[in-house]
């Protein structure tokens, strides 16, 4: 089993056995950021993760759930002082969720404002069909050095990627991004010192089963092929990036 891997965006509480999923990350030595979709889910995630070396729980309010759960932002605010990690948050302008887009922006503005006030948060961010709006809000409410945003499953343009880099963002890359030629080309152009890896499990599949954090090695290998470097070197680069992110926001 390869150790020293990074899965910076995964939903461990959505696997059939949450505790077993956390234990597997710990056993396999995969640094895993387990995101939550509602603040109500965070205390249990934090409890399970806090006994581990490798798993951390992020405090989220998913934009796809804002229509029903915007009222939970008060609980999110109460819990924020207890964690450095925030997510999944952001914006989703897809057809199913566009009707709540203005409310999503209100919630995301509050999230970023409070994270900026705290000054040390790391925010894993959803930006489906909303990259420009997400970047506009980062620039307005939480520019560096007030915190760091990691753009999860980035689907923006090359110009938006450059703007995100200028705003201090990192990017978490999964295997599905690398399987798409256009996405892979944009990913290849990202500064290597801003790249992390992710699975977004269990919402992605590996060998016709839900992807697990240990499968993040596939993204590492894909990044290594993209840059013509040995997988072990790419893995070391990603771990170094994680350490840099954690230190600069300590």
Binding residues for a divalent metal cation: 9, 11, 88, 126, 152, 200
What CA–CA distance (Å, rounded) separates 172 from 77? 25
Asked whether the bond before 88 is cis by omega within 30 degrees of 0, the reply is yes
Annotated binding site: 9, 11, 88, 126, 152, 200
Q: Could you tell me where the DSSP H helices lie in the chain? A: 18-28, 42-49, 66-69, 73-79, 101-118, 131-141, 158-166, 175-179, 181-188, 217-227, 231-248
Q: Determine contact, residues 49/84, Cβ cutoff 8 Å.
A: no
Nearest to 71 by CA among 43, 103, 101: 103
**3-state class (DSSP) for residue 235:** helix
Nearest to 64 by CA among 35, 94, 44: 94
């Amino acid at each position: 089993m390869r150790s020293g891997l990074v899965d910076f965006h995964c939903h461990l509480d959505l696997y059939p056995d949450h505790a077993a999923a956390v234990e597997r990350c710990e056993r396999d030595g995969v640094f895993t950021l387990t995101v939550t979709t509602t603040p109500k889910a965070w205390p249990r995630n934090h409890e399970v993760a806090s006994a581990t070396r490798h798993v951390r729980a992020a405090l989220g309010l998913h934009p796809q759930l804002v229509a029903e759960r915007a009222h939970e932002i008060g609980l999110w605010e109460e819990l924020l002082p207890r964690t450095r990690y925030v997510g999944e948050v952001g914006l989703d302008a897809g057809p199913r969720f566009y009707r709540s887009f203005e409310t999503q922006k209100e919630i995301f503005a509050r999230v970023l404002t409070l994270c900026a006030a705290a000054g040390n948060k790391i925010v894993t961010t959803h930006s489906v069909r909303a990259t420009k709006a997400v970047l506009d809000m980062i620039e307005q409410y939480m520019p560096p050095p007030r915190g760091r945003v990691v753009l999860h499953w980035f689907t923006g343009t090359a110009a938006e990627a450059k703007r995100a880099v200028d705003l201090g963002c990192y990017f978490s890359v999964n295997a599905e991004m690398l399987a798409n030629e256009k996405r892979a080309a944009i990913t290849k152009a990202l500064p290597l010192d801003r790249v992390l890896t992710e699975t977004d499990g269990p919402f992605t599949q590996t060998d016709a089963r839900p992807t697990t954090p240990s499968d993040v090695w596939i993204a590492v290998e894909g990044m290594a092929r993209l840059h013509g470097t040995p997988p072990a070197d790419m893995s070391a680069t990603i771990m170094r990036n994680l350490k840099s992110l954690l230190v600069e926001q300590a």
